[in-house]
Each structure stands twice: as C-alpha cells, then as structure tokens.
C-alpha cells in the first residue's frame, strides 16, 4: 500500500503542468498594458486604438493618427526568433527599408537615437528618416524602425510612423516594452 501511495504522489508531481508565473506590471497613469507579441508587453495611453496583438500582427494608432506603431511576426510562439532582422555591431549608419504601405520605393533611415531608460541603460536603437511633409497638412512624418536590446543582440521589434513633434511620446512608449 505504501508503494502505491508513493507511486501516486510521484506521478502527480511529475504530471503537474507548470504554470508560467504571472508578471505583475503597473501601468503608467492613464496608460494600459498590451501584449506586443508572445514574448513582450508594451504600454500605451488608453485613448489609442487598434487591434493590439492579433494573428501575429500588432497595430496601434493615437486618436490624431500621427503616431502609428505596428509589426507583423511570422511565428506564433517565439516572435523574436522569427523577426530575423538583427543589427550588427558596429551599428550601421543607415538602414533602407520599405515604408508603411509602399511597395515601389524605399526609405533611408539615416538617423539613429539610443532609447535610454531612467537608469541610463540603453534599451534599444531607433532608426528614423529625415521625414516628409504630407500633402495639404502641416505635419512632418517620420518613418522609423525600433531595435530592442535582447540579451546581447538588437532585434527589430516595431515599425513606427509619427509626427516629428511626437518623439517624446515615442520614447515613453518604447521604454515601456518589457519581457513577459
């Protein structure tokens, strides 16, 4: 009988599904926490709209449509392994890529800025264009690509398009990205 009880206890211990611990994040005041992908959280002001993370894609936009943040991932389970775009060191001075919704021309992201948190730690690198002015509007739009530091690599995490005056908000948003 004792062997049977011991066997049941051993089987139940090894057959228990180990739950991933719940990460308890505190949102910034007036902001909400979203899934950026399967591996990371991100925070946005509560008035932003968009699907968030769904069907391997992420999309958010502010009410005035002058901050657009998106990314599509090719894998469901490990978004970081399938993005595939990592920076080499030393960091390139320029990155060329297709901008949002365009298939006929490339944008040169000729500027780069380190995204640094309050502890002076480099969280990532933001490459961005010189910008372009929209027809009949008074906005200067910047096309950008954010590379998040993950271990010893910088991995493409988000595509952004934003009004030049919104860089402070962009930096705040990018500094909220945290591993699950």
Contact status, residue 85 vs residue 156, Cβ threshold 8 Å:
yes
Encode pLDDT of 109-146 as tens digits: 777 888 877 788 888 888 888 777 666 666 667 788 88
Q: Residues 22-51: what's their mean pLDDT?
A: 86
Phi, psi (rounded to 5 degrees) for 60: -145, 145
Report the C-alpha gap between 44 and 113 in whole angstroms. Answer: 21
Token representation of residue 83: 């993005």
Q: Please give the pLDDT value at position 38.
A: 80
Q: Please give the pLDDT value at position 8.
A: 44
Residue 72 C-beta-side C-alpha neighbours within 13 Å: 3
What is the SS3 assignment for 126?
Answer: strand
Q: Residues 24-36: what's their mean pLDDT?
A: 87
What top-level class would CATH report for the domain 28-179? alpha beta
* Matching residue, tokens 């993370």: 53
Q: Please give the pLDDT value at position 43.
A: 95
Higher pLDDT, 167 or 133: 167
Tell me the CA distances in angstroms from 88 to 79, 91, 97, 152, one per residue in order. Answer: 19, 6, 16, 11
Whether pLDDT at 57 is above 80? yes
Reported as a pLDDT band with limits 50, 70 and 90, residue 149 is: confident
Report the C-alpha gap between 92 and 123 in whole angstroms. Answer: 17
Neighbours of 177 (CB within 10 A): 20
Contact status, residue 153 vs residue 87, Cβ threshold 8 Å:
yes
Domain ranges, ordered by start, for the chain: 28-179
């Amino acid at each position: 009988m004792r062997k049977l009880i011991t066997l049941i206890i051993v089987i139940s211990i090894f057959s228990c599904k180990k739950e991933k611990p719940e990460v308890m994040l505190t949102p910034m005041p007036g902001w909400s926490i979203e899934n950026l992908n399967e591996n990371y959280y991100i925070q946005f002001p509560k008035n932003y709209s968009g699907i968030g993370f769904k069907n391997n894609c992420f999309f958010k936009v502010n009410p005035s449509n002058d901050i657009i943040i998106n990314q599509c991932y090719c894998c469901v389970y490990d978004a970081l392994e399938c993005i595939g775009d990592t920076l080499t060191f030393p960091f390139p001075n320029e990155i060329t890529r297709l901008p949002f919704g365009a298939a006929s021309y490339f944008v040169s992201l000729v500027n780069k800025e380190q995204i640094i948190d309050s502890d002076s730690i480099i969280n990532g690198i933001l490459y961005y264009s010189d910008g372009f002015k929209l027809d009949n509007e008074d906005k200067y739009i910047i096309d950008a690509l954010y590379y998040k530091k993950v271990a010893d690599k910088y991995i493409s995490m988000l595509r952004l398009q934003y009004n030049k005056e919104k860089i402070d908000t962009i930096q705040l948003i990018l500094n909220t990205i945290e591993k699950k």
